Each structure stands twice: as structure tokens, then as C-alpha cells.
Structure 1
Amino acid sequence: MRDARRQLFDAAERVLLRDGPRALTSRAVTTEAGCAKGVLHRHFADFDEFLAELVRERVAGVERQAGVLRAAAGTGTVTGNLAGALIELFDAVAVAVVGLLVFRDDLRALLRVTAPAGVPILTEAAGMIAVYLAEERAMGRIAADADVDTLALMLIGSGHLLFAGWQGAPPDAAEVDRLVSTALADVLQRRLL
């Protein structure tokens, strides 16, 4: 198999999206990937470690996105930058992986060895947004007394609920923009006073 790890991750994502967290087993993943079960165990100690690596890969994606969002500080609009970040963050796979984390206590426990408290992916995303908002606050684009940590939690929680609640197509950009505009209305208006 060429790039077996990637093929196994892709297969796991397809099973998760199609059948949900209960159906995500090592057999389902290897069957979806079209390989023997031993291939998974050749690359990972066990299925739990495979799932932990799948989550860690998603967390790494959030960390990459954080650099892009931070670089956007001072450009465009605060609302537009954050709406775009939420749309990118909460793709169907990320929402499904968060569901997997909620479903599997043992997976969260395994990840807590190296990750902060909270739900992986969501915790890192809240940190990403808090850092971005702190940059915008330092530039004077939001109110100087804005509580960026609380705003970040509000945006991640609301964004996750918005994206997780959709069946089929995700919410459109206008709806995400409305969510961000509402959450930031006070700190954007107070800046203008």
C-alpha cells in the first residue's frame, strides 16, 4: 500500500461520515481501505492509538489554520476573518471527529495524556480564536476591554452547534457571518464609541 497511514485515515473518515462513531472499528476501517487488518497494526500499536493519531492529525490542522488566521489580523474584517475560519474549521469530518470524541471516553482519556483538558480540536480552536482576537484588540479593531477568551469559547460553542445541527449541506456563509456578527456586536460597537 502506498502511504498506508493516509489511506487508513481517509477510510476511517469515510466510515465515520457514512455510518457514525459506533460503526468505526478496525475491521470497518481496513475493509473500507481495502487492506488486511494487519496493515493497521503494522503502523499503530492498536486501534485506540490509530484513533488518537487521527485526532492529532486534525489538531495539527487547527494549528496550521491558527497561523493563517493570526496572519489575517488587521486585514479584511474581523467578522469575515472569523466566519471564514469557522467554515474551514467545522468541515464535515471535523464535526464527525468531535462526535467520535464525545462518544469514546477512552479516546479522550488517551489524548489527555498530551493534550489540555476539554475536547480536542474544540479546545485548540478556541485558543486559535482567542489569539486572533487578542491581535485584533491590540490593533484597536475590537474594544480594548474585550474578553477574548470568553468570546472564543462563545464562537467555538455556537459554531459547533450550528455546524453539527445540519443534515446534509452545511450552513451557508451568510448564516455563519450572522453568528459571528452577533457574538462580536458589542465589542465591535464599543470600539467605535
Structure 2
Amino acid sequence: MPTGVPMHDAQQQLFDAAERILLRDGPHALTSRAITAEAGVAKGLVHRHFTDFDAFLSELVLDRIARLETQTTGLLDSAGTGTVADNLADALVEMFSPVAVAVVALIIARDNLRTRLREAGTARVPLLGEGAAMIHAYLTAERDLGRLAHDTDVRTLASTLTGAVHLLCTEQETAPPDRTEVHKIVATVIRSA
């Protein structure tokens, strides 16, 4: 893209390009040059909009976390409706989209990125921690409504569900998790609750 031509929503265009690279080539292929080439924009665009490449990556992850916050609102609104297992399975399938799994791999691969994200106030393992918090909040709401036993350890259930489904997703690099498999995990984990 020639210099001086205005771009509409340059940040989102760069994020979309980064996500495509993550899905196709993995976290180690993600460079500012690869992103601008994928987006079809000038080579310096990342550095014009962000102080450095780690700042770009931090914003990419924070954008994914913001999407998760929106999902949390929807999941909490579903408390008391449908079945707990169905609501959780749907939420976990959405939470662990191929892009989200690729972003978690990126976070794990880059020490500086994890440091920046922690400084920004994210969970210890960004995106996974916020996902577990979403599941915890939902399980708490369902327990408060009496749809789970009053002594249910929702924190342990949330961590178990998040970890088990993440592990399932790491085996399926480019496809979303199979809802039937996710539902089976959820039903098994929450059976005693």
C-alpha cells in the first residue's frame, strides 16, 4: 500500500492478518514483515501504529480477551436456561476457536509477550485464565440458582473444564473443537455437581 493512502481500521486489518498467519504457519512465523505482507500494506505500518512488535502482539491478545468478556455476558445471561452441560459445551467450543488456541500458543512461545500482558493485568496464563474465570462465573451463577449443588467447588470445575477442553483443542490445530466431544467432557466433569 502506498504511503499516504488512508486506511480504514488498520489495527483490525493487521490483527486479521496476524490471525491468518498464526493459523496457517504457527506462532514462530509471526513477524511484523509477515503480517504486513499478509495484509498487503506498507512494511512499516505495524510500527506506525504500535510502539514495537510486542506492543502489537499485546494488543492482539487483549482484543481476544475483550471478545471473551463479551462472551461472558452472553453465557451469564444463559444461566437458568437450557441445561448447564449444553450451555458450557457451547461456550467452550466458542472460547476455544482455532484462532484462540493459536493465540494461546503464541502467548506460551513469547516470554516478553507474557510479561507485557501480566503488566496489563491479565491472568497468569492470558486468555486461558480469563476463560476459566468466565466458566467460574457461570458455574457460580448456576449454583446460586440451585441448578448445581450448594457445595460445588466451582473453581476446580472451571479449571478442570478449561484445561481438558484446551488439551482436546491442541490435537485439532485448524478445526474448531467437536461439540460432541466437548459435551462429553463437560457432562463427565459436572456429573457430581
Q: TM-score range by the shorter chain?
A: over 0.9
Structure 2 gaps of 5+ residues are 1-6
Q: Distance in 1 between matches of 2:174 and 2:44?
A: 34
Aligned to 1:106: 112
Say yes or no: does 1:8 pair with 2:14. Answer: yes
Say yes or no: does 1:146 pair with 2:180. Answer: no
Q: CA deviation at 1:155?
A: 0.6
Moved more, 32-41 or 44-53: 32-41
Q: CA deviation at 1:117?
A: 4.2
Give runs of aligned pairs for residues 4-83 of structure 1, distance below 5 A.
Answer: 4-83=10-89
Moved more, 109-118 or 41-50: 109-118
Amino acid at match of 1:154: T
Aligned to 2:138: 132
Q: Distance in 2 between matches of 1:180 and 1:113?
A: 33
Q: Number of aligned residue pairs: give it.
A: 187
For the structure 1 residues 65 and 183, does the alpha-carbon distance in structure 2 shift closer, same or farther, using more than 3 Å as the test? same
Q: CA deviation at 1:171?
A: 3.3
Structure 1 gaps of 5+ residues are 188-193
Indicate if the aligned counterparts of 2:97 and 2:177 stay in contact, CA closer than 8 A. Answer: no
Amino acid at match of 1:114: A
Q: CA deviation at 1:167?
A: 4.3
Indicate if the aligned counterparts of 2:98 and 2:175 stay in contact, CA closer than 8 A. Answer: no
* TM-score after normalising by structure 1: 0.94
